[in-house]
């Protein structure tokens, strides 16, 4: 499970999209949310959209790997969707915040690799939020006020990328993904390979 976290506007979603385009062996975890569906978003493709009543019921029924309340809306990762992807032998990419990352690590730390994306500056972060033309100024200012708190959790992550250039950041992220796959504890079948290698007669 590859976790990406960052303050809103840092470029996390763009980086996630590039990773999914470049690597066919990783798939996006689709989050559930109670926020309003935006123009162009498709239910069950971009998000699982739900009412707050339904979301709270799913929490009670233990249907989430992690969940959090952000900007007065709920976000969470449905267990069933992720487990189906993992059982098919693919890696899963998570676009979640520090609260979700903490919950995932509490239950599956050995299976989680986490990357925190930082903006090059506060000014650049503000400029990116404004240029998206997705939110009202009140929401943009709220996101900026939350950025300091979110950034303060950077030391809980395995890797840090300062996103000055989207292509360079994507290359670094792909390198992290490939290196993590090569760790001995993630190489399924490696023990049997080595055992047969040692006893092989030539």
127-176 confidence digits (pLDDT tens): 878 877 666 777 787 778 788 889 999 999 999 999 999 999 999 999 99
Q: How far apart are CA 180 and CA 43, in angstroms?
A: 32
Q: What is the pLDDT of residue 115?
A: 98
User: What pLDDT does 186 receive?
Assistant: 85
Mean pLDDT of 108-118: 93
pLDDT tops 70 at residue 19:
yes
CATH architecture classification, 2-183: 3-Layer(aba) Sandwich (3.40)
pLDDT at 44 over 80: yes
Q: Report the share of the chain in percent with pLDDT over 90.
A: 62
pLDDT confidence of residue 133? 66
Least confident interval from 1-5, 103-107, 132-136, 185-189: 132-136
- Which of 152, 153, 117 has the alpha carbon at shortest distance from 18? 117
Residue 166 zone, left/alpha/beta (φ > 0; ψ -120 to 50; rest):
alpha
- Strands 2-5 and 26-28, bridge-based pairing: unpaired
Residue 134 has what pLDDT? 66
User: In the prediction, which pLDDT does 194 show?
Assistant: 94
Q: Is the pTM of this model over 0.85?
A: no
Given a contact cutoff of 8 angstroms between Cβ atoms, the answer to whether 166 and 11 are in contact is yes
Instruction: Categorize the per-residue pLDDT at 46 as very low, low, confident or very high, splitting at 50, 70 and 90.
Output: confident
User: Residue 49: beta bridge partners?
Assistant: 33
Q: Work out the average pLDDT over 34-38.
A: 91
For residue 5, give the nearest of 180, 109, 134, 160 by alpha carbon.
160
Q: Could you write out the three-class secondary structure of the chain?
A: CEEEECCCCCCHHHHHHHHHHHCCCEEECCCEECCCCCCCCCECCCEEECCHHHHHHHHHCCCEEEEEEECCEEEEEEHHHHHHHHHCCCEEEEECCHHHHHHHHHHHHHHCEEEEEECCCHHHHHHHHHHCCCCCHHHHHHHHHHHHHHHCCHHHCCEEEECCCHHHHHHHHHHHHHHHHCCHHHCCCHHHHHHHHHHCCC
pLDDT per residue as tens digits for the range 68-105: 888 789 999 999 989 888 888 899 999 888 989 999 99
Question: What is the average per-residue pLDDT within 97-122?
Answer: 91
Give the separation between CA 128 and CA 120, rounded to whole angstroms.
11
């Amino acid at each position: 499970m590859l976790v990406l976290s960052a303050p809103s506007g840092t470029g996390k979603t763009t980086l996630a999209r590039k990773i999914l385009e470049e690597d066919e062996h990783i798939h996006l975890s689709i989050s559930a949310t109670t926020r309003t569906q935006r123009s162009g978003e498709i239910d069950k493709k971009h998000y699982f959209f739900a009412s707050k009543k339904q979301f709270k019921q799913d929490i009670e029924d233990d249907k989430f790997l992690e969940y959090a309340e952000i900007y007065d809306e709920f976000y969470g990762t449905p267990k069933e969707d992720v487990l189906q992807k993992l059982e098919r032998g693919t890696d899963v990419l998570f676009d979640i915040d520090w609260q979700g990352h903490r919950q995932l690590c509490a239950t599956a730390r050995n299976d989680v690799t986490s990357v925190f994306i930082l903006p090059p500056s506060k000014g650049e972060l503000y400029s990116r939020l404004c240029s998206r033309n997705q939110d009202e100024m009140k929401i943009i200012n709220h996101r900026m006020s939350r950025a300091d708190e979110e950034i303060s959790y950077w030391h809980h992550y395995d890797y840090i990328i300062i996103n000055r250039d989207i292509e360079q950041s994507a290359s670094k992220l792909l390198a992290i993904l490939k290196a993590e796959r090569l760790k001995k504890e993630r190489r399924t079948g490696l023990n049997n390979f080595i055992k047969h290698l040692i006893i092989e007669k030539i």
